[in-house]
Amino acid sequence: MRVKKRSKNRKAVKFYSTCFGFREPYKVLIDGTFVHHLLTQRLLPADDALRDLLSASRTPALFTSKCVVAELRRLGKSYAESFDAAQLLATTKCEHDKVVSAVNCVLSLIGDKNPEHFFVATQDADLREKLREIPGVPVIYGLKNSLFIEQPSVQQRKFAQLDEEKRLNMDISDYKKLMKAASEGKTTASENGSDGEQHGRPISSLVKNALGVADRNKFKRNRAKGPNPLSCKKKKPKPQPSAIQNQVSFLLCSIMFV
């Protein structure tokens, strides 16, 4: 069971790392409900527990906000220990002049696209439901003495798929610009003759240059200038006629003319 749980958590972390650019050291935004859960279940030290959950090689940075701390303070003595523990965490700037609820504060810090790449740790069911609708927000929660990462929701996966398709496919406006540039290049080439060789380039070449793809180097083949001396046989010298052969040929010629 533990192996299966660890595998699911790793897959979730890999999803957010691949699709949304999460990198170590990870940053975890913790609200008051999660701080209280860590203390009641004795999941301490918290940074080690979260490091093990994320299968991280480096200790994650833990953050909270002044609005979260203020909310714990208002809850009274039953949350006094949680209030003291939250004060020890790093406080991220929430830019609220007046204190707001922890839920609203967390949502404002996450925004529309979670630019700070926070993992959000909370036990608030309503907050978790709202965070599922925001792309690129992994949610951590506790169940008794165990911690879990929510598997990416349908909205998260759909957004990641659309973003990938957007990066792979060329925008229609960009394609029209390339087609226009190609047609203008052909017209210029027909009017200017040899000067148009540079402008009247094929569409495929224009598309490659627009995408930043460099042309491949063209290599010239060295043509053979002559026969390979290593593969040729040496010429044999012609044998010189001997004196006897000369006399025989002379006698034959004399007989022919008699």
Cis check for the bond before 45: say yes or no (omega within 30 of 0): yes
Separation between Cα atoms, residue 135 and residue 144, nearest integer Å: 28
Neighbour tally for 193: CB within 10 Å: 8
DSSP 13: H
Cα–Cα–Cα angle for 30, 31, 37, rounded to 5 degrees: 90
pLDDT digits (tens, 9 = 90+) for 123-175: 999 999 999 999 999 999 999 999 999 999 888 888 888 877 776 665 666 66
Average pLDDT over residues 184-200: 54
**Could you tell me the residue ranges of all domains in the chain?**
2-152
What residues contact residue 127 under an 8 Å CB cut-off, 6+ apart? 31, 103, 106, 107, 120
Q: Strands across the sheet with 27-30, in order?
A: 90-91, 61-64, 27-30, 118-121, 139-143, 146-149
pLDDT digits (tens, 9 = 90+) for 211-235: 344 444 444 555 655 665 555 566 6
pLDDT at 212: 44
pLDDT digits (tens, 9 = 90+) for 86-96: 999 999 999 89
Cα–Cα–Cα angle for 52, 47, 23, rounded to 5 degrees: 70
pLDDT at 127: 97
Q: What percent of the chain has pLDDT over 90?
A: 55
Does the pTM surpass 0.85? The reply is no
Tell me the CATH architecture of domain 2-152: 3-Layer(aba) Sandwich (3.40)
